[in-house]
A and B are shown apart, each in its own frame.
Chain A
């Protein structure tokens, strides 16, 4: 209980600091919703230029974009701000986090106000709803469960990627934008049918890193389409397993990283 009160106090502090400059905060709030809207409208622009991309129509691709967007925003809303870790490690301010009698990761997660990202979540879920409505889905209990679990598994998976990318800063302080290649890059990767990518690039991102199971395979199962790349239909149900595996790896790497942390000594 005392722990919860401590977290609430941290959250309250962040809320006050975020809203200290009101106009700036209002612009941030609106822009955040716009961010996801822009990603989605890019899909519309591309499908305006070509009716079929990588063997998929706009409606089908929208299913992948919707699953990605809702999973990603949920992860971004909760653990996305852990990417500030490199700043804490460089400045040595992680010391202040470590000396408190609370877990490190939750403290960092609360270290940025998630409320301004709430609008994004609304946009992401809206895209998924539109995608479901614009496709003629043959509903079975399995597909109904998949529609709920896939975005949640996607969120866990993206959360793990956020933590893994941030952990890089424990070993390489100046890692800068490398993490973005996997977090935002991974989101861009799964927003489109993975049939568009070249063989080795797809092998690395989709199967090596597991991004193929976030949206592409669940979407195929929901749509009742066979995989043009040859994986069986049950691959769509693998997303929770892939997400849990990624979360497990992220947990181990994070713990190793925290133990590896050396303060700046300032």
Chain B
């Protein structure tokens, strides 16, 4: 035995590309199927997204009505309504909140089983997260957008490149969000428990990703700083700004490029932190 049985489903540059792709695909499918079993949670969550859609939309429209020229932060009323409703649809696709699987596995010591597997944990969890995102794109994205389109006038893209840019931007948002969440969860390697950091993340990410209000309502220096210095606008604000065509074509593409840079940095950082943690890890439990 050379230790490399052909049937070991691993992801490695030393193995044929097709084997890596098949393994990654299987992990994605497992993530998709896992979330497909939470059907009632899908209904419950969509209801809540819709209620918050109405709340945020009415408030922002009142702000636009009270602002000069009926536009707040450079968005007109239709763009704001689209921003809010598509934002509610994307919230769970991007999955900013509620993922503490890794922190729980570290706390309980189950992470030991993940480390024995032939696929690095960051890769395995990323694949499962992309599967989750695929399922939620099919189920959680459409209900708020449909309700929003019925209740309010929304804006449709006018440039051809907006649609592919938006699709790329959503994918980058999921990958960037995964990197951030992995890092927050990974604090459990050092703290034993990540409840505090997770709560801090929930709060900070909601504000700085543009969920509570579009970041463009802030003074320009603050908006630019948040965009360049943190990965958070890339989680929600960037795809939404791309979709409602808040900026000209050049800046629109530039924002997606910046988002891509941050997504790569966050996932790479997650990999570095994971390797550091493996060197010092004391598995909890027995």
Contacts and interface: CB of A to CB of B under 8 A. Distances in A.
B44 A175 contact: yes
Interface stretch (A44-52, A72-80, A130-138, A215-223): A44-52
A50 B195 CA distance: 37
Interface in A6-44: 20-21, 23-28, 30-32, 34-35, 38, 42
A192 B59 contact: yes
B250 to A, nearest CB: 26
Given A32-B199, A174-B44, A189 B55 contact: yes
A53 B63 contact: yes
A185 interface: yes
A67 B40 CA distance: 35
Contacts of A38: 203, 206-207, 212
Contacts of A178: 44, 47-48
Given A21-B192, A23-B191, A27-B197, A185 B51 contact: yes
Contacts of B196: 21, 23-28, 31
Interface in B31-88: 38, 40-41, 44-45, 47-48, 51-52, 54-56, 58-67, 72-73
A30 B197 CA distance: 11
Nearest to A29: B196
A185 B66 contact: no
A28 B45 contact: no
Given A32-B199, A45-B218, A196-B62, 10 more contacts: A24-B195, A27-B197, A48-B217, A53-B59, A176-B45, A178-B47, A181-B51, A185-B52, A198-B54, A198-B151
A52 B66 contact: yes
Interface in A162-204: 172, 174-178, 180-182, 185, 188-189, 192, 195-198, 201
B114 interface: no
Contacts of B193: 20-21, 24
Contact of A181 (B48, B60, B66): B48
Contact-size category for B:
35 or more
A54 interface: yes
Interface of A: 20-21, 23-28, 30-32, 34-35, 38, 42, 45-46, 48-54, 172, 174-178, 180-182, 185, 188-189, 192, 195-198, 201
B174 to A, nearest CB: 20
B212 A42 contact: yes
16 contacts: A21-B192, A21-B196, A23-B196, A24-B191, A24-B193, A24-B196, A27-B197, A31-B200, A31-B203, A49-B73, A50-B64, A172-B40, A175-B40, A177-B48, A188-B52, A197-B58
B217 A177 contact: no
Contacts of B206: 38
B125 to A, nearest CB: 21
Contacts of A181: 47-48, 51-52
| 9 A-B pairs with least C-beta separation | A27-B196, A50-B66, A174-B40, A196-B62, A24-B196, A176-B44, A181-B51, A21-B193, A50-B67
B213 interface: yes
Contacts of A182: 51
A172 B72 CA distance: 41
A28 B197 CA distance: 7
Given A24-B191, A46-B213, A181-B52, A53 B41 contact: no
B148 to A, nearest CB: 13
Interface centre among A27, A192, A195 (most CB of B within 10 A): A27
A196 B59 contact: yes
Contacts of B44: 174-178
B194 interface: yes
Contacts of B72: 49-50
Interface in B247-272: none
B62 A49 contact: no
A141 to B, nearest CB: 34
Given A174-B40, A178-B48, A188 B55 contact: yes
Nearest to A182: B51
A24 B63 contact: no
B51 A27 contact: no
Contacts of B63: 46, 49-50, 53
A73 B51 CA distance: 21
Nearest to A174: B40
A192 B57 CA distance: 13
A185 to B, nearest CB: 5
B217 A49 contact: yes
Contact of B48 (A185, A195, A201): A185
B66 A51 contact: yes
Contacts of B213: 42, 45-46
A180 B50 CA distance: 12
Contact of A177 (B45, B65, B200, B203): B45
B1 to A, nearest CB: 43
Nearest to A201: B54
Contacts of A196: 58-59, 61-62
A46 B217 contact: yes
